A and B are shown apart, each in its own frame.
Chain A
């Protein structure tokens, strides 16, 4: 990734001033004038479009994916392009159509099953776990399940307790599943393409509030053969004082927090996990060995969360390198409240991350 940016920058030539700084700092943001912008929604839509045109066995199934153009417009235009046989509107039967997707995957197709939100996946969780994740193992490799379950995950704005849960930790515990959580448009495109091409069941956790956000995107990402490796985290911002790990929307918050911390003299390293399962323990550990302090950020419930797993893995592998206890930022241990001010308190905010990073940095003084 770095090498290619350098090449492109060298070719373009008009970013000489910001070149070194831009490359060392946040990757694409420093030289923005010639980079295109793409929303996460368009990134997902284009990834689906390209994968469907590349392989006729790929089809989309879910509620409102066809005529409604997608509940969040992710599958916009696909019905017109590929027809109702490949963009299938279903009745409201999560267990039924998730199971149908699994059966189709058993028998040779490559379904992309959309859940309107991952909260509804709880109605189909038996199929995601028991008939998709475990099948390759139970059949000793005979039946692989090349299926993708995708949809928005985590809190939106004011949607209440039953529509706001983050499922990264639950699905991240299951052997046989791969769990992805993209942040930017590049992540969204690359990881969704990788997920569709992957021969195993993938749970793809998007975020509703990120759908409309625009990110700069390079030409390489727009190429139809682009994909990102599953299981590799990305260091969004390099630093040396404290490591902040995050995924999905929290990466944006972590980057903002890092900017604030920079003004106070703390140089934070932000890791965008990208993949929850398999967790990129190697990147996390090398980063902690460099900075000696760790703050994990996630939106979901704190107990048995992603941060708990990261903390355990760092304590197991890099204990001697830690100069301060690991700080865990997670959503509040309550069902998501509805009132706007309470909701703001229940979800991590930038100030929380800043405070935690400061605690991690000052504790040993």
Chain B
């Protein structure tokens, strides 16, 4: 189980831009340094002190470096005439706006929850915006996203209007699922958000199936289809059987899918280190024959670079990729979680690595936009989020007759009534009687 401590890159499959064609490999091994995996070495030790039982694993002298650091070094050494900026101004503003939308929306959700307008299980995405924005902003409308219960921001990044998501959370009939799904089940056929699943690991086979459909459309139906599917899930899911089953089948059939692990180190109160025999999730990719990549999930630009390559691989038909994004959620698992087990120092450390602040700094330092432009974006997002709350507030709750609707696509599935005709043919059927 011990990883080699030698600093050796076997292949770097994620060389970007000019050297894209040169290196293709099925495996990736990374040079590992304590500097960026789990924050810093000192923090690593602090994590150790909190979780005493797992010390043997963490004393490994393995080191990890996020991909783009390696690439950047190589580029600096090669030519200096190529611009080192990873994004253009427009892209930067799009990324910034998306992350601010995610953050503002989730903060508003918390407020609304404590005011009693939202109820049930609500899982917020604060702190992880870089992963959602970094990946989803590269997709086309026809590409699919499958997520878990922490899905508000995935839906927003994919293009579902904030009004519809907020209404859904309030349980109103104008929500994206007419109030029938809720926080954990965001579906949008128009934007190809295929859920929103409460069971962890449930979305992975569904995403693999959507990727299967892409491939089927191309090869059997002979349509011009290069749609890619992204499956988002957490570190806890990576111990679940369905994850491995799908890694196997996706690699076996070379499906156009990217498995994105949002490793925020905690599954409710279970630390990733306490739950996993080998905590380096990216290594599970090569075991099944696909590249496994680890990236700093608090930096949207690094995530985006990795995503460009992974999505590109899938689109070209080269098969799946497993991307482990090291990230962190600033709030508890859900709004009902008192979040007592996490070390406040750990939280403080990650708060300094807030992805939005980091992107803002990058944009300003590289003079891609002015402070005023960024402020204008923040103001605009505030207005969007407030408008969505107003809209949701004013929207009506579902009518009683909606209870029996949408159970079946073919409502004859409700069977034949006592008068011998199909129940659904009776006009009074959905008017609020649960006497099926």
Residues of A within 8 A of B (CB): 56-57, 59, 83, 85-86, 90-91, 93, 95-109, 126-127, 130-131, 135-144, 146, 175-176, 178, 198-200, 229-232, 275, 277-283, 285, 317
Query: Within the assembled complex, what's the spacing in Å between the Cα atoms of A139 and B182?
Result: 9
- With a 10 A CB-CB cut-off, give which of A104, A107, A131, A143 has the most chain B CB atoms: A107
In chain B, positions 215-243 with a C-beta closer than 8 Å to chain A are 216-217, 219-221, 241-242
Whether B419 and A100, one on each chain, are in contact in the complex, defined by CB atoms closer than 8 angstroms, is no
Contacts of A83 in B (CB 8 A): 220
Whether A131 and B202, one on each chain, are in contact in the complex, defined by CB atoms closer than 8 angstroms, is yes
A137-B180, A143-B194, A231-B413 are contacts. A99–B206 as well, Cβ < 8 Å?
A: yes
Question: Which of B48-56, B337-345, B382-390, B404-412 lies on the face that meets chain A?
Answer: B404-412
Q: Which residue in A127, A142, A144, A282 is a CB contact (below 8 Å) of B416? A: A282
Is B314 engaged at the interface, CB distance under 8 Å to the other chain? Answer: no
A135-B187, A142-B187, A176-B408 are contacts. A98–B205 as well, Cβ < 8 Å?
A: yes
Whether A91 and B241, one on each chain, are in contact in the complex, defined by CB atoms closer than 8 angstroms, is no
Is B427 engaged at the interface, CB distance under 8 Å to the other chain? Answer: no
Query: Within the assembled complex, what's the spacing in Å between the Cα atoms of A231 and B422?
Result: 9
- With a 10 A CB-CB cut-off, give which of A104, A199, A277 has the most chain B CB atoms: A104
Whether B180 and A232, one on each chain, are in contact in the complex, defined by CB atoms closer than 8 angstroms, is no
Nearest Cβ on chain B to A180's Cβ, whole angstroms: 11
Is B210 engaged at the interface, CB distance under 8 Å to the other chain? Answer: yes
Q: Which residue in B194, B220, B415, B420 is a CB contact (below 8 Å) of A107? A: B194
Query: Within the assembled complex, what's the spacing in Å between the Cα atoms of A9 and B181?
Result: 54
Query: Within the assembled complex, what's the spacing in Å between the Cα atoms of A198 and B202?
Result: 24
25 contacts between A and B (CB under 8 A): A56-B221, A57-B221, A59-B216, A85-B220, A91-B249, A96-B246, A100-B205, A100-B206, A100-B208, A106-B194, A107-B210, A108-B213, A108-B217, A127-B206, A130-B197, A138-B180, A138-B181, A139-B189, A140-B177, A140-B179, A141-B178, A141-B406, A143-B187, A278-B423, A281-B416
Query: Within the assembled complex, what's the spacing in Å between the Cα atoms of A229 and B211?
Result: 33
Whether A96 and B413, one on each chain, are in contact in the complex, defined by CB atoms closer than 8 angstroms, is no
Whether A95 and B416, one on each chain, are in contact in the complex, defined by CB atoms closer than 8 angstroms, is no
Whether B197 and A85, one on each chain, are in contact in the complex, defined by CB atoms closer than 8 angstroms, is no
Whether A230 and B185, one on each chain, are in contact in the complex, defined by CB atoms closer than 8 angstroms, is no
Is B418 engaged at the interface, CB distance under 8 Å to the other chain? Answer: yes
Whether A99 and B181, one on each chain, are in contact in the complex, defined by CB atoms closer than 8 angstroms, is no
Whether A144 and B409, one on each chain, are in contact in the complex, defined by CB atoms closer than 8 angstroms, is yes
Nearest Cβ on chain B to A148's Cβ, whole angstroms: 13
A85-B220, A91-B248, A96-B205 are contacts. A141–B409 as well, Cβ < 8 Å?
A: yes
Contacts of B204 in A (CB 8 A): 99
Nearest Cβ on chain B to A309's Cβ, whole angstroms: 12
Scan B244-260; emit 1 where CB is below 8 A from any A CB, else 0: 01101100100000000
Scan B162-195; emit 1 where CB is below 8 A from any A CB, else 0: 0000000000000011111110010111101011
Query: Within the assembled complex, what's the spacing in Å between the Cα atoms of A229 and B422?
Result: 11
Whether B187 and A93, one on each chain, are in contact in the complex, defined by CB atoms closer than 8 angstroms, is no
Q: Which residue of A lies closest to B179 (CB)?
A: A140
Q: Which residue in A127, A175, A280 is a CB contact (below 8 Å) of B205? A: A127
Is B159 engaged at the interface, CB distance under 8 Å to the other chain? Answer: no
Q: Which residue of A lies closest to B211 (CB)?
A: A103
Whether B418 and A103, one on each chain, are in contact in the complex, defined by CB atoms closer than 8 angstroms, is no
Query: Within the assembled complex, what's the spacing in Å between the Cα atoms of A108 and B199?
Result: 23
Q: Which residue in B206, B220, B405, B417 is a CB contact (below 8 Å) of A103? A: B206
Query: Within the assembled complex, what's the spacing in Å between the Cα atoms of A328 and B228?
Result: 53
Whether B418 and A282, one on each chain, are in contact in the complex, defined by CB atoms closer than 8 angstroms, is yes
Nearest Cβ on chain B to A350's Cβ, whole angstroms: 30
Contacts of B176 in A (CB 8 A): 140
Nearest Cβ on chain A to B231's Cβ, whole angstroms: 9
Query: Within the assembled complex, what's the spacing in Å between the Cα atoms of A28 and B195?
Result: 48
Query: Within the assembled complex, what's the spacing in Å between the Cα atoms of A136 and B189?
Result: 11
Q: Which residue in A97, A126, A231 is a CB contact (below 8 Å) of B199? A: A126
* Interface pairs A-B: 8 shortest CB-CB: A103-B209, A99-B205, A278-B415, A96-B245, A139-B187, A140-B178, A103-B206, A144-B409
Contacts of A282 in B (CB 8 A): 416-420
Contacts of B405 in A (CB 8 A): 140-141
Q: Which residue in B144, B177, B409 is a CB contact (below 8 Å) of A138? A: B177
A91-B245, A136-B406 are contacts. A103–B210 as well, Cβ < 8 Å?
A: yes
Given contacts A101-B209, A140-B406, A142-B187, 18 further A-B contacts (CB under 8 A): A56-B220, A86-B220, A102-B205, A103-B146, A103-B212, A107-B144, A107-B213, A136-B406, A138-B181, A138-B187, A139-B177, A139-B180, A140-B178, A142-B188, A176-B413, A230-B413, A231-B415, A278-B415
Contacts of A141 in B (CB 8 A): 178, 405-406, 409
Query: Within the assembled complex, what's the spacing in Å between the Cα atoms of A98 and B205?
Result: 8
Contacts of B415 in A (CB 8 A): 231, 275, 277-281
Contacts of A140 in B (CB 8 A): 176-181, 187, 405-406
Is B273 engaged at the interface, CB distance under 8 Å to the other chain? Answer: no
A59-B216, A97-B205, A138-B181 are contacts. A317–B246 as well, Cβ < 8 Å?
A: no
Whether A200 and B409, one on each chain, are in contact in the complex, defined by CB atoms closer than 8 angstroms, is yes
Whether A130 and B181, one on each chain, are in contact in the complex, defined by CB atoms closer than 8 angstroms, is no
Q: Which residue of B lies closest to A94 (CB)?
A: B245
Nearest Cβ on chain B to A116's Cβ, whole angstroms: 16
A102-B206, A138-B196, A282-B416 are contacts. A96–B187 as well, Cβ < 8 Å?
A: no
Whether A105 and B209, one on each chain, are in contact in the complex, defined by CB atoms closer than 8 angstroms, is yes
Is B114 engaged at the interface, CB distance under 8 Å to the other chain? Answer: no
Query: Within the assembled complex, what's the spacing in Å between the Cα atoms of A96 and B179?
Result: 29
Whether A99 and B208, one on each chain, are in contact in the complex, defined by CB atoms closer than 8 angstroms, is yes
A86-B220, A138-B181, A140-B180 are contacts. A232–B416 as well, Cβ < 8 Å?
A: yes
Query: Within the assembled complex, what's the spacing in Å between the Cα atoms of A65 and B405?
Result: 36
